[in-house]
A and B are shown apart, each in its own frame.
Chain A
Amino acid sequence: MSTLHTVNKSPFERDSLSSCIRLAAKGSAILLIEDGALGAMAGTDHSDMVSGVMKDVSVYVLGPDLAARGMSEDRVIDGIQVVDYSGFVELTTKHDTCQSWL
């Protein structure tokens, strides 16, 4: 079983990203969307937490949500893959289940 986790809240505002990272099984994937996309940025107080999970879990971020917030793809944490909406759909089809950390 592999799960796609989606996180749509800023890591500064809610603990949904830290809970998701703590509870995501090895081999699952995390997609950062909406305000959750802010968690993909390098150089923040939460960057190390996100980098730390990436040896076990693939992390993705939705590009249009980065662009809306003026966040440059160049400043995304190394190893996080930027996807578009069709990439989002592809991720949902590649995984057995989807867990939304609302």
Chain B
Amino acid sequence: MATKKFMFVNRKAPYGTVYALESLEVVLIAAAFEQDVSLAFVGDGVYEIVKGQSTDGIGMKNFSPTYKALGDYEVTKLYVEKESLEARGLTLDDLMDLVWEDEDEDYAEKPSIRLVSAAELAAVFDEQDVVLSF
């Protein structure tokens, strides 16, 4: 099967709507079909990967730990738009420590999150075969 470049654009805060969780489900499916999968976190989507999420009080499943498993599915490119973080008073330190293991370098842990400007992200979008927005 031909490999295509898939980009999943995450634009909604988690828990208030089901978009964030649904996107994650489709990402895992695409990865299972061995596609070249990237994720972008834009707008309120940056809230999806904020660390310290604790959903005990709202009776919903905390799905944020699933993002930590993406590296094991060879999903290693998570683009975060800098402008979106800044508008929300957030920095990289507020995001989960998401890494992948590079088997070519003795399983060295490498960061999955790539902080990019809007202009840089536009260029990444432009390289994709398929872009799906959630």
Contact = CB atoms under 8 A, between A and B. Distances in A.
Instruction: Specify whether A and B are partners.
Output: yes
Interface residues of B, number: 25
A48 B23 CA distance: 32
B16 to A, nearest CB: 3
Interface residues of A, number: 26
B15 A68 contact: yes
A9 B17 CA distance: 10
B6 interface: no
A58 interface: no
B13 A64 contact: no
Contacts of B16: 8-10, 34-36
Contacts of A63: 57
B89 A35 contact: no
The prevalent SS among residues of B at the interface is loop
B57 A67 contact: yes
A43 interface: yes
Contact of B57 (A45, A64, A72): A64
Contacts of B43: 12-13
Interface stretch (B28-36, B48-56, B69-77, B97-105): B48-56
Given A44-B87, A45-B87, A69 B14 contact: yes
A102 to B, nearest CB: 12
Interface string A72-99: 1001000000001000000000000000
Interface in A1-52: 8-10, 12-13, 34-36, 38, 41-45, 47
Given A9-B16, A41-B88, 19 more contacts: A10-B13, A10-B44, A12-B44, A12-B87, A13-B13, A13-B43, A36-B16, A38-B13, A42-B89, A44-B88, A47-B89, A63-B57, A64-B58, A68-B54, A68-B60, A70-B50, A71-B50, A72-B52, A75-B89
Interface of A: 8-10, 12-13, 34-36, 38, 41-45, 47, 63-65, 67-72, 75, 84
